[in-house]
Amino acid sequence: MEPILIDEYDYPLADERIAKYPLQERDQSKLLVYRDGKVSEDRFFNIGRYIDSQSLLIYNNTRVIQARMIFHKQSGARIEVFCLEPSSPRDYELSLGSMDGCEWKCMVGNLKKWKQGILVLPFSLNGCSYTLTAERLSTQGNTHIIRFRWDAPDTSFAEILNESGELPIPPYLNRATEESDKRTYQTVYSRIQGSVAAPTAGLHFTKALLDDLRANGVETAELTLHVGAGTFQPVKVADANEHVMHTEIFSVPIGTLRTLRQKTGHIVAVGTTSMRTLESLYWLGKRVLQSRPTKDMTEMRVGQHEPYLTQAENITTEQALDALIAYLERTGEQTLHAETQIMIRPGYTFHIVNQLITNFHQPRSTLLLLVSAFVGGDWQTIYKYALEHEFRFLSYGDSSILTRK
């Protein structure tokens, strides 16, 4: 593969350009419009002007969990435990619904103060006092497998997190989580718990705006990809190809696949998480056509460099989607569950997404590489305009709608 020099995907982002708080009204943010190499601007509530009435708008319905917990040892040492993804049970729904204990892969702050022993976090629920315990089982790189147990009867881990956890807003906001973030750092359509970061492109939508789009003929559909902390991981190597992408679990209902098949050529992805999921579907469909996988989810996985090491063999988008639909019908499943580590960077050939709604991303990030790939390398034109015209950057910042070159 040709080297992707990360130094070529840098730009000056002053701290004052990073939006620390959202606007009071979600859909009042500025909207950068990119089509045919030209840039203009509008307001997000007018986004329907730039979406064809025959389009399918697909968004990620994941909901951010209160994944950060603060424990204190008897010595007074403060230990932060940040839940990244479930380990046992591996399934998000099963783990968050567990009533008697579960294990999660976590990041641990101030680890040097937690050599051994079990941490205890008191919490209250329905007027009664309980305790949550955390036991470190093993280490995996810079993460740790933590076993959680609690003494609150008939209480799920999701409820425990809601009572004792903290919403993990992005680190670059350089501020503590506030009560308002519990509302503003969730999309209006979030409903499936599991993310540790919001799919922020969707933060601009209101229910009224979605209703207006539907009234004008735009169809909508959902998928679920639980956003991991890896979304904030910077590229620290000179050649971005050597950066290790994080793996994320996603699910797509068969109804969404069927609608995708009908609307091929008119697909609008809300955010990079939806983009990565949708493009992963093509490679999964190709695999089904070639190998007829079993229900074992390890076979339903897209590797980081798979699109660049595998020939498409003239398999069309329609054929790939048909293969996935037939696979689910054959196995009796209503939802496709899979994993993706896909890296979308310059040189990638897009198969499914025609328009992308996305915020403005950090310099030297994999998300900036994705944007560059989508606009045929013209990312500097877009970001130069945004910087010169006072757009607000990152999670709580302004938005853009990009049409693929």
User: In this structure, are 53 and 20 located in the same domain?
Assistant: yes
Give the integer Cα–Cα distance in Å for 46 and 6.
34
Q: Is the preceding omega at residue 12 within 30 degrees of 0, hence cis?
A: no
Does residue 115 fall inside a structural domain?
Answer: yes
Residue 175 lies in a domain: no
Query: Residue 219: which domain range?
Result: 6-64+183-403
Q: Which residues contact 164 (CB under 8 A, 6 or more apart)?
A: 66, 69, 121, 123, 132
Q: Are residues 113 and 146 in the same domain?
A: yes
Helix (H/G/I), strand (E/B), else coil: 309: helix
What pLDDT sits at residue 294? Answer: 53
**Residues 316 and 392 grouped into a single domain:** yes
Residues 374 and 268 in one domain: yes
174 found inside a domain? no
* Same structural domain, 11 and 147: no
Domain boundary residue among 139, 166, 193?
A: 166
Q: How many CB atoms lie within 10 A of CB 208?
A: 11
Of 134, 166, 198, which residue constitutes the final position of a domain?
166
- Domain-terminating residue out of 117, 137, 166: 166
Same domain, 123 and 189: no
Q: Tell me the C-alpha distance between 139 and 137, whole Å.
A: 7
Residue 253 lies in a domain: yes
Are 282 and 218 within one domain? Answer: yes
Same domain, 196 and 77: no
Q: What is the DSSP letter of 393?
A: B
Query: In this structure, which long-range contacts are made by residues 173-176, counting pairs with CB atoms below 8 Å and at least 24 apart in sequence?
Result: 173/18, 173/20, 173/395, 173/396, 174/15, 174/20, 175/20
Domain of 12: which CATH number? 3.40.1780.10
User: Are the beta carbons of 202 and 271 closer than 8 angstroms?
Assistant: yes
pLDDT at 228: 84
1 occurs within a structural domain: no
The model scores a pTM over 0.85: yes
E strand spans, 304-374: 335-340, 355-359
**Within-domain flag for 93:** yes
Residues 149 and 291 in one domain: no
Q: Can you give the pLDDT at residue 297?
A: 42
Q: What is the distance between the alpha carbons of residues 10 and 336, in angstroms, rounded to a whole number? A: 37
Same domain, 74 and 57: no
Q: Are residues 123 and 79 in the same domain?
A: yes
What are the pLDDT tens digits along the chain (405 aa)?
A: 889 999 999 999 999 999 999 999 999 999 999 999 999 999 999 999 999 999 999 999 999 999 999 999 888 899 999 999 999 999 999 999 999 899 999 999 999 999 889 999 999 988 899 999 999 999 988 899 999 999 999 999 999 999 999 999 998 999 999 999 999 999 999 999 999 999 999 999 999 999 999 999 999 999 999 998 777 678 999 999 999 998 889 999 999 999 999 999 999 999 999 999 999 999 999 989 887 555 544 478 999 999 998 765 689 999 999 999 999 999 999 999 999 999 999 999 999 999 999 999 999 999 999 999 999 999 999 999 999 999 999 999 999 999 997
Domain count of the fold of the chain: 2
Contacts (Cβ under 8 Å, ≥6 apart) of 56: 218, 219, 220, 221, 259, 260, 262, 263, 266, 267, 268
Q: Would you state the pLDDT for residue 292?
A: 58
Domain co-membership, 123 together with 13 = no
Task: Please report whether residue 176 resides in a domain.
Answer: no
Domain annotation covers residue 177: no
DSSP secondary structure letters along 17-83: GB-SS--SSGGGSEEEEEETTEEEEEEGGGGGGGS-TT-EEEEE-EEE---EEEEE-TT--EEEEEE
